[in-house]
Structure 1
Amino acid sequence: MAPALWPRLGRILWLACLLPLAPARVAAGVYELHLTPDGPATTGAEVTITASLVADDNGSLVLPASTRLYRFRWIHTPLLLTGKTDEAFSSTIRVVGNVPGNFPVSVWVTAADCGMCQPVARSVLVLPITEFLVGNLVVTQNTSLPWPSSYLTKTVLKVSFLLHDPSNFFKTASFLYSWDFGDGTQMVTKDATVYYNYSIVGSFTVKVKVVAEWEQVTPDVGKGVLQKTGDFSASLKLQETLRGIQVLGPTLIQTFQKMIVTLNFLGSPPLNVCWRLKPECLPLGEGECHPVSVGSTAYNLTHIFRDPGDYCFSIQAENIISKTHQYHKIQVWPSSIQPAVFAFPCATLITMMLAFIMYMTLRNAAHQKDMVEVADFDFSPMSDKNPEPPTGVRCCCQMCCGPFLLETPSEYLEVVRENHGLLPPLYKSVKTYTV
C-alpha cells in the first residue's frame, strides 16, 4: 500500500506548489497579445518586433499591478537575435535575416515562475525578408480629388520614392533613380523626388528603378562595395476638367418631327449627363432631369415635340473632377400653318382662278364678236363698185381699232349707231297722231 500512496502524495504537493499561480491561470483567455513589426526588411537590415499585452475587451479590464507575474517567451529561429528589451506588459526584440524568405515569429505570455503553465495570451506573425530594397512610390498633387489614383492633367505632379529603412541600414549608401512616366518620357536623377506634368488624359504607370551602393568592411574579404536594387511603380489616372458643352442642333423644327441634337463634351469621360426641356433657360434643380451615363466625349440626344411653342434644353454634365451646364433654345412650329407646306397649294389655287377669269373674258368677247358679224351681214350689204373686207374683219376693226382709224367724228358716230342698233330698245315706241 505504501508504494501506491507515494504518487498520490506527489500530485498533492505539486498542486500545492501551483496555488500561488492561480491568478495567472484565471487570467488565461482574458488578455490579448499584439505584435507590431517594423518590417518588411532587406537582408542584413535589423527588424524590430514589439509584443504588447492588452485587455481583451478594449481596456475595460484592469491589468494586475505587479509585472513580475508574467514572462514573454519568443521563438524567432532562423532569424538572428541582436537585442531584447522587456518592459511593463510588453517585450521588444531585434532580429536580422541574412537570407530572403518569410519567417514566422511567435510569442506567448506565461506565469513568471511556471513555463509549463497554460499561456495567458499568445500571438504569431510572418516577417518577410527580401534581397531587394524596400520602399514606396508616392504621387501627390496640389489639387486633391476624392477618387484614389486620380489626378489632373496640365497640373504638376510630385513623385517621390520613400525608402523603408527604420534601422538606418542604408545611411552611408548613395542612390541613383531611373524614372519612366509611361508616356515616353524617361529621366535619371540622384534625387528621390521629381516633378512631372502630364499633358494628355488617360491611364499611366510611373516606374522607378532604384540602385543603392555603399562600402562595407568585413574581416574575411576586407573593404568592398555592396549594391542593392529595387523596382517600384504606381498607377495613375489622368483626368481633364469639364470646360463646357458644345451643342449642335436645329433651332427651328415642326411638331411630330424627330430632332437630333449632338452634345460634344470638352472634358474627360466617364460623364453623368442630365437634361430637361423647359419653357425658359433655367438651371436644373435636384432630381428634375433625365440622367444618362456617357462613356465618350459625344452624345446624340433625340426628341419629338408634340406641342408648338418656345422651348429650352437645360443640359448638365459632370465627371469625377468638375461639372458644367449649357442651354439650347428651339422654336417649334405647328405642322398645319407651315408656310413651306402650303405655299404651293395656294399658288395653284390662285393660278386656277386667274385662268378661269381669263377664260370667261375671252368667251364673252367671242360671243359679242359673233353678234356684231350677224348685224353687219343683215344691215350693211357690200356694194359692187366699192368692195369692202369681209364682215368679220370689218367688225373686229370697228370694235378694236375704229376710234383710231376713222377720220371724222361723224364716221365714228355712224359706227356706234350701227353697233347699237342691234340691241333691243330700252323703251317702247309711242305712236303720234295728228288731228
Structure 2
Amino acid sequence: MGSAVWCRLGGLSLRLVCLLSLAPARVAAGLYELNLTTDGQATTGTQVTISATLVANDNSSLTLPASAQLYHFHWIHTPLILTSKMENDLTSTIGVVSSVPGDFPVSVWVTSADCWMCQPMARGIILLSFTEFLVGDLVVTQNTSLPWPSSYLTKTVLKVAFVLHDPSNFFHMAYFLYSWDFGDGTQMVTEDGVVYYNYSVMGAFTVKLKVIAEWEQAQPDGSKVVMQKTGDFAASLKLQETLRGIQVFGPTVIQSFQRMIVTLNFLGSPPLNVCWRLKSECLPLEEGECHPISVASTAYNLTHIFHSPGDYCFSIRAENAISKTHQYHRIQVWPSSFQPAIFAFPCATIITILLAFIMYMTLRNSTQQKEILELADFFYSLPPLPPMSDKNPEPHSGVRCCCQTCCGPFWLDTPSEYLEIVRENHRLLPPLKSVKTYTV
C-alpha cells in the first residue's frame, strides 16, 4: 500500500511517492524508539562518538528486519563538525568535534530508506557537553575490602590514580605533569598519574591534583606550535582506624538489686554504632536483635540492675565505617542479703514497737500522777496533829515542808520516801509510842 505526499515549492508541484511496505507511516508512529549512547563529556578538539539504535517499543509486538538498507538515519549536529559516520544493521554511529566549549544538542530520526519525507518511525535527541579543560577522574583504592565508600584505613598504603577520559586517543602524544596535594601538608610533582601514599592519622582529607598536558600541533603552513590543556581534580577521603576490639571493665560477681556499671573502651575510630544485650550464653548478636546507639567517643558506660540471680553474659557489638567487632563479658549474680521484701517486715516491726513504747510511757505517766494525787488526798484527810513541842524547833520548816509536799512527787523516787518526809515535817505521831503504818 502506498501513500502520496504533495509538496508545493516555488510554484512547482513535486510529487513524492513513499512506499512503506513493511511499516506504514500511520502504523509505525509510536511503535519504535531510538536508543542513544555517547562516550560522555569531552575536551574541545577531541572527538565524541554518538550511536543511535532503532528498537521496537516495549509495548509493541512488532519485530524489525535487520537489513540496514530498509531504513535511513537523519542527523542534525550543527554547529559541531562531523568527523565520521557509519551505519550497521539498525545502528548508526557518528563522530563530532567542537572547537568551543558548551552544551550542544544532537538530534536524529529514522525513516524508510525509500521515503525520506515520510513521517519518522522514531526520533531521538541527546545533549553533548564540551569543556576547554581536561576530562578525567581521580580514583583512590586500597588493598582492603570495605563496604563503605570513601572510607579508608590509616597506616595502610593508598593508591591514587588519575584516569584521563580520552576515547578518541587524542592525547596519545601529549606530555603530562601532575601536581599532588594530599591535604595533610604533603605535596609532590610527578610525571606519572599514579602515586602511593600512607596517611598516619585519621580524619577527613581532600586530595587535590592539577594536571598539565602539552603536545605539538602542526599548522597549515607546516610549522608546529605547543598546545596545552589543564585540569583540576579532587577526591574526598575519610581516614579511620579499624575497630580492633573492645575493652570491658566491670565486676564479674555482683548481688541482685545492685546497680552495675560496665565501662567499654573501643579500640578504633568514632563515630560508632554500639549494640548490647544480656544473654544466658555468650553468643554473637544477630541483626535486629538489639537497638543500636550512636557513640561519638571511644568510651561508653553501661548501667544495669539485676533482679534475679544467675549466670549472665553481656554480648556487645560495635562497628565504625571501617570494621565491626564483638566482645563478651560474663557476670555471676548472687542472691542479695538485702532484699526489699525481707527488709519491709523488720521495718514494720520496729515501727510498731516504737509506737507501743510511746503509748506505754504515756499511760504510765498518767497512772503515776493519779496515784500521787490520791496519796496526797489521803494525808490531808487525817485528824489534826498535836501541837508541836517547843523543843528542838526547826527553823524555816514551812518552806521546806511546802516544797517537799507539793513538789515531792516529781523529784522523789518512790511514794514511801514521800511518806517519810511528810511524817517528819508534820510530827504525825509522838515519839516512843506505837505507830500505825499505812501502805499505799
TM-score by length of structure 2 reads 0.67
- Corresponding pairs, count: 326
One-letter amino acid matched to 2:294: V
Look up the SS of the partner of 1:336 in the other structure. coil
C-alpha distance in 2 between matches for 1:76 and 1:289: 60
One-letter amino acid matched to 1:219: P
C-alpha distance in 1 between matches for 2:273 and 2:180: 36
1:289 Cα deviation from its structure 2 partner: 5.5
- Structure 1 pair 252–102 and aligned structure 2 pair: CA distance change class (3 A): same
Contact 2:17/2:115 (<8 A) preserved = no
1:201-236 Cα offsets, whole Å, 9 max, x none, are 333222211000111121269321111100112222
One-letter amino acid matched to 1:50: S
RMSD of the alignment, in Å? Answer: 2.9
C-alpha distance in 2 between matches for 1:315 and 1:198: 30
Which residue of structure 2 lines up, in the alignment, with residue 62 of structure 1? 63
- Structure 1 pair 228–262 and aligned structure 2 pair: CA distance change class (3 A): same
Which residue of structure 2 lines up, in the alignment, with residue 267 of structure 1? 268
C-alpha distance in 1 between matches for 2:60 and 2:154: 49
Contact 1:272/1:291 (<8 A) preserved = no
- Structure 1 pair 66–166 and aligned structure 2 pair: CA distance change class (3 A): closer
Which residue of structure 1 lines up, in the alignment, with residue 17 of structure 2? 17
1:335 Cα deviation from its structure 2 partner: 5.3
- Structure 1 pair 257–170 and aligned structure 2 pair: CA distance change class (3 A): same
Contact 2:66/2:90 (<8 A) preserved = no
1:66-98 Cα offsets, whole Å, 9 max, x none, are 433321111101111122222322222221100
Which piece of structure 1 moves more, 231-240 or 182-191? 231-240
C-alpha distance in 2 between matches for 1:118 and 1:212: 48
Look up the SS of the partner of 1:68 in the other structure. helix
Which residue of structure 2 lines up, in the alignment, with residue 230 of structure 1? 231
Which residue of structure 2 lines up, in the alignment, with residue 123 of structure 1? 124
- Structure 1 pair 39–144 and aligned structure 2 pair: CA distance change class (3 A): same
Which piece of structure 1 moves more, 329-338 or 47-56? 329-338
One-letter amino acid matched to 2:213: A
C-alpha distance in 2 between matches for 1:65 and 1:268: 60
- Structure 1 pair 214–18 and aligned structure 2 pair: CA distance change class (3 A): closer
Which residue of structure 2 lines up, in the alignment, with residue 217 of structure 1? 218
Contact 2:20/2:112 (<8 A) preserved = no
What's the % identity of the aligned pairs?
71
- Structure 1 pair 197–333 and aligned structure 2 pair: CA distance change class (3 A): same
- Structure 1 pair 60–142 and aligned structure 2 pair: CA distance change class (3 A): farther
1:283 pairs with 2:283 = yes
1:180 Cα deviation from its structure 2 partner: 1.6
Structure with the higher helix share, 1 or 2: 1
- Structure 1 pair 97–308 and aligned structure 2 pair: CA distance change class (3 A): same
Which residue of structure 2 lines up, in the alignment, with residue 97 of structure 1? 98
C-alpha distance in 2 between matches for 1:24 and 1:137: 51
C-alpha distance in 1 between matches for 2:186 and 2:268: 24
One-letter amino acid matched to 1:275: W
Which piece of structure 1 moves more, 133-142 or 216-225? 216-225
Which residue of structure 2 lines up, in the alignment, with residue 239 of structure 1? 240
One-letter amino acid matched to 2:201: I
Which residue of structure 1 lines up, in the alignment, with residue 161 of structure 2? 160
- Structure 1 pair 337–302 and aligned structure 2 pair: CA distance change class (3 A): closer
- Structure 1 pair 287–139 and aligned structure 2 pair: CA distance change class (3 A): closer
C-alpha distance in 1 between matches for 2:60 and 2:84: 29
Which residue of structure 1 lines up, in the alignment, with residue 77 of structure 2? 76
- Structure 1 pair 64–264 and aligned structure 2 pair: CA distance change class (3 A): same
Q: What are the residue-to-residue correspondences of 1:23-42 with 2, within 5 Å? A: 23-25=23-25, 26-42=27-43
Contact 1:76/1:106 (<8 A) preserved = yes
C-alpha distance in 1 between matches for 2:222 and 2:310: 94
One-letter amino acid matched to 1:336: S
C-alpha distance in 1 between matches for 2:329 and 2:275: 14
Look up the SS of the partner of 1:326 in the other structure. strand
In structure 1, the gaps of 5 or more residues are 1-6, 8-12, 339-435
- Structure 1 pair 19–246 and aligned structure 2 pair: CA distance change class (3 A): closer
In structure 2, the gaps of 5 or more residues are 1-5, 7-12, 340-440
C-alpha distance in 1 between matches for 2:51 and 2:175: 31
Contact 1:36/1:50 (<8 A) preserved = yes
Contact 1:275/1:289 (<8 A) preserved = no
Contact 1:313/1:327 (<8 A) preserved = yes
Look up the SS of the partner of 1:17 in the other structure. strand
TM-score by length of structure 1 reads 0.67
One-letter amino acid matched to 1:180: D
- Structure 1 pair 16–91 and aligned structure 2 pair: CA distance change class (3 A): closer
